Amino acid sequence: MLVSDACRAELLAVGSEILLGQISNSHAQFISQELAKHGLYVYHHGAVGDNEARIQAAFEAAVKRSNVVIVTGGLGPTADDLTKEALAKFLGRDLVLSEEALAHLNQYFAGRNRKMPDENRKQAYCIDGGTLIPNENGTAPGQYIFARNVHFFLLPGPPLEMRPMLTKSVVPQLLSVFGGKQALISRVLHFCGIGESDVDEQVQDLTANENPTVAPLAGEGEMLLRITATSSTRDAALEAIASVETDIRSRFGPYIYGVDDDTLPSVVGRVLRERAETLAVAESCTGGMLAGLLTDIPGSSDYFLGGVVAYDNRVKESLLDVPSTVLERHGAVSEETAKAMAEGVRSRLVTTYGIGITGIAGPSGGTPEKPVGLVYVAVSDSFGTEVHRLQYRVSRTQVRVRTCKQALWRLLNRIQMRSSESPQSSS
Amino acid sequence: MLVSDACRAELLAVGSEILLGQISNSHAQFISQELAKHGLYVYHHGAVGDNEARIQAAFEAAVKRSNVVIVTGGLGPTADDLTKEALAKFLGRDLVLSEEALAHLNQYFAGRNRKMPDENRKQAYCIDGGTLIPNENGTAPGQYIFARNVHFFLLPGPPLEMRPMLTKSVVPQLLSVFGGKQALISRVLHFCGIGESDVDEQVQDLTANENPTVAPLAGEGEMLLRITATSSTRDAALEAIASVETDIRSRFGPYIYGVDDDTLPSVVGRVLRERAETLAVAESCTGGMLAGLLTDIPGSSDYFLGGVVAYDNRVKESLLDVPSTVLERHGAVSEETAKAMAEGVRSRLVTTYGIGITGIAGPSGGTPEKPVGLVYVAVSDSFGTEVHRLQYRVSRTQVRVRTCKQALWRLLNRIQMRSSESPQSSS
């Protein structure tokens, strides 16, 4: 494929509020996703303020490296909406009144029983030689112009206006220019219970590949591998990904818990619903975070009955039936207490599975025998109870987040063991 | 202030996953906010893929327009982590092994009873002439180097590692270079229980001011006003802020719950600790999120004893003593159930205060009488129990977050009422 045939797109968001951090540039992710779906490459994201000189400078840099520039924002009626003006100057073109755009504007305001404010006239001007991109949801039309060997697309900032314009107008036009030449497809595998560097060591042969590419992504308490294939057809790309995925799964098995948009809570939920089984959790150091993650999933009430946040020992006794002798003899942070918590919440709430978590999230509260970051996670079911000892050396929040993910991943393994009916190996 | 003295910062995020739209570049907003707080200006955001040539090209463009470049991502141990390598090449410098960084790495893995994988050695290399930025929460140290008249900061991608490094190391260093010429001080007031537009309307006279400036910032379930004063001296700036703050407090009173880094859980914690009082929570639709927010505060075990996540009605009965007659007659989502939950968890856990939450977070589960977004929040103490009816029209996650914040804010008001000793006005 000739380089000149390939889409080399970049995105530019215009708006000082982005640079001040008052709003996030969510357009970049949305547009990148839409283009990636169709194998249209994005090589650069940028954001600049409402400043004509800096917007022009951004165009100057863009035309050196890209053949598609998609700009969002700065098409409004106010004095600091300068995107169109900056591009016209950059290209040395005039802005000409578009009767069509003016009619659309008048129509828009008439439909709201309002007279068009004079300042909105500005939005009816179009860069000479360019074409308008219709905006069904607002006053600012988009603009398309091919100049300096670059396809420029100007889109308004409000997401509800920009998004349909991108999918209905920009993407089809890009496909008519660059499409059909190749498909680019990605698939993400989610890992838990194994370190990023351990995974990377075992896939170095794959990460060296050109196509499909395999790239590790770090996560909090989990990690991801992204497989990306480019091919002349979508099916060929999917095939290439499938064979690499099979290879990777053969190397990591249970450490891979999901794909693409899966999360541990969503996968646990799916599995429990399929099996018509239920879960309850007893939390000490995670303090409700695990229950919060589980109930963030719509419909989780089908399989998650509830839980107990037993921060105080008296709560462990009164609501979870943890024997005071266990707490006295082994302490609140112990294998025995975690076990009693999991079994207690499971029997109190009458569920298929019970999870018990106790530990020292820190920053204080540690001892030489039981340092900060020591956590016990217990998973209980009718076959018995297994307890896992974890030792973290990270911040309080990280200990809590990683513990929650570990607990869900251990539960998934427990369920898999259970379905493979080898109870004796399960505790 | 001379322009040459002014901070002209730009942000660069490195990672192909950003350009593919698989993750959003949330760093850009966070870093921009932190810098804006201190009057450090950001003029450009950028994102590039894991490609050494394109990362170098981004540096080439950056040094032409900026005197501060903050880069996030690409410091990991894997082959496609190239940020440090790209900057070293761009500056024509060597990468030299840092014994200090190597010791930190070995320590990090030793703490996890693991041998350091060989590939992690890569993270111990530092650009010649640069200095390391300590990373308390991960393996990748950051790097700082001043070259080509630009202050380069390289930070790791994981937010929980990057954020403390930015606030503890990068911002103070930037202030030592660019700050101090003129005192620029900001103070943020946190509001809850009142709409953003209501606040905006009542401070229009203040937001029109030049100095101090008053800027509204939207939050989730709360809103903020940032007061920023510039003056020749720190004291003068503080004085100017104080008088504006007094004015604002006289307008909004109890709706202002905190300042600067306060959060509702931290303020509730401070107040409860001061009063040596305790709290327990019973959650249905928030499903543990409120307990999770409370226990995210170090030392929360001093005042937070625990809670019950009563997702299933049987749990409301068995662990919270909600009478089955109440559930039958009024339903799980009702004023009476919320009241019984708050009183039940307070008496079961023997605390000063009990909070009960029940509602319909959605997206499904609503009825004409009890639509999605209907939530009851009850706060109970020795004086009695008050129940608040809330009706939201937002997403499931937003309903849950806003409900948690409402509950904490209502508790704060209850405590204030209580300390002003007017029990009869409290239910």
Q: List the single range of A177-181, A290-294, B25-29 with lowest mean pLDDT.
A: A177-181
Nearest CB to A288; choose among B288, B305, B310: B288
**pLDDT per residue as tens digits for the range A187-198:** 999 999 998 878
Q: How many Cα atoms sit within 13 Å of A3 on the Cβ side?
A: 3
Q: Which of residues 302-331 of A touch B (CB under 8 A)?
A: 304-312, 314-315, 318-319
Structure confidence at residue A290 as a pLDDT band (50, 70, 90): very high
Beta bridge partners of B44: A48, B10
From A201, A307, A348, residue closest to B117, measured CB to CB? A201
At A322, the amino acid letter reads: V
Contact A355, A407 (CB under 8 A): yes
**What pLDDT shows up at residue B426?**
38
Mean pLDDT of A317-334: 96
pLDDT band at A205 (very low <50, low <70, confident <90, very high): very high
Task: Give contacts of B 356-375 with A, CB under 8 A.
Answer: 362-364
Whole-number mean pLDDT of chain B? 91
Average pLDDT over residues A282-311: 96
Segment A282-290 mean pLDDT:
97
State how far the Cα of B5 lies from the Cα of A44, in Å rounded to an integer: 30
Tell me phi and psi for residue A372, to 5 degrees. -55, 135
Distances (CA, A) of B402 to B235, B271, B369, B423: 37, 21, 21, 27
Contact present, A214 and A203 (Cβ < 8 Å): yes
Distance CA A381, CA A425 (A): 13
The residue written with tokens 């089908």 in the block is A302
Note the pLDDT of residue B182.
66
Best to test chain A binding among B7, B22, B30 (most A CBs inside 10 Å): B22
pLDDT in tens, B8-49: 999 999 999 899 888 889 899 999 988 987 878 899 999 999
C-alpha–C-alpha distance, residues B341 and B282, integer Å: 6
For residue B330, name the pLDDT band (cuts at 50, 70, 90): very high
Which helix or strand (DSSP H or E) is residue B282 part of? strand B279-283
Count of CB atoms situated within 10 Å of the CB of A424? 7
In terms of DSSP bridges, do strands A279-283 and A353-359 run parallel, antiparallel, or are they unpaired?
Answer: parallel
Contact yes or no for B77 and A315 at CB 8 A = no
For A3-51, give the DSSP string.
Answer: GGGS-EEEEEEE-HHHHTTSS--HHHHHHHHHHHHTT-EEEEEEEE-S-
In this prediction, the answer to ipTM > 0.85 reads no
Concatenate the DSSP letters of all residues of A132-197 into one string.
Answer: EE--TTSS--EEEEEETTEEEEEE-SSHHHHHHHIIIIIHHHHHHHHTTS-EEEEEEEEE-SS-HH
Domains of chain A (ranges; CATH) run 8-178 (3.40.980.10), 183-259 (3.30.70.2860), 267-421 (3.90.950.20)
Half-sphere exposure in the Cβ direction for B174 (13 Å, CA):
30
Residues B259 and B164: their CA atoms lie apart, in Å, by 20
Tell me the chain B residues in contact with residue A315 when contact means C-beta distances shorter than 8 Å. 305-306, 349
Size of interface A-B (CB pairs under 8 A): 297
Bigger pLDDT: B281 or B6? Answer: B281
The pTM assigned to this predicted structure is 0.75
CA distance B424 to chain A (A): 31
**pLDDT single digits (tens) A356-371:** 999 999 889 899 999 9
B50 and chain A: CB distance < 8 Å anywhere?
A: yes
Return the pLDDT at A422.
45
B180: pLDDT strictly greater than 60:
no
- The reply to whether omega before A212 is within 30° of 0 (cis) is yes
Calpha distance B321→B300 (Å, rounded): 26
Tell me the pLDDT band of A423, cut-offs 50, 70 and 90. very low
- Residue B3 is predicted with a pLDDT of 34
Nearest to A348 among B114, B318, B397 (CB): B318
Considering only CB atoms, which chain B residues are within 8 Å of A25?
A: 25, 28-29, 45
